[in-house]
Structure 1
Amino acid sequence: MIYLAVYCWSYLNLPVMKNWGKNTEIFVRINNPMTLRRFAIQNYFNLILTEIEMKRKRPQEVLIEFMSSNLSDEERYNVIKNDFLGRDDEVTRLLK
């Protein structure tokens, strides 16, 4: 299905974006010189890359706060449990 979408985009001479692998990078292939000029003139913003970066940053912040805080064993258990259950608000509350 993804390949069909990529094919449709390239058929319309739109940029083709790919994101495979562990790095938060996206390869953009532009076949149309006018599209390339438009991207060069405007500030390029990619929502997919921004979301990937945000999803990577939150767990890092939680882990740093978790390791550097002075919590009891029960509090640590509650942080781990709530993080596993996706209760981000509760995790933030427990770590502050």
Structure 2
Amino acid sequence: MAFQETPSFDLLLIAQNLLVDGEAAYLAQVVEVEETWAELPGVCACGGAPFPFRFSDKEKAKTEANVNRALRRMEAMHGVKKSIGELFPER
């Protein structure tokens, strides 16, 4: 249960939902993990392995913009679903 409250679990959960939530959500989570990378149990056990990814500021901004667009699309789809009701998604 304690593992469920860690960034490691979040990455696994998001990876599980990659096809549902999209690549942007996963990349945003990876960018955030860089800040807490050194605190992850596997990293501490390895003697402080370096963060395996490098993101430029431009890439980080693009990822954030993609996440915001994805969230707006999800909100729009929720509105469509709410207005159509039981007919969604078949009709």
Higher strand share: 1
Higher helix share: 2
Same fold by TM-score greater than 0.5: no
Task: Report the structure number with the largest CA radius of gyration.
Answer: 1
TM-score scaled to structure 2, two decimals? 0.32
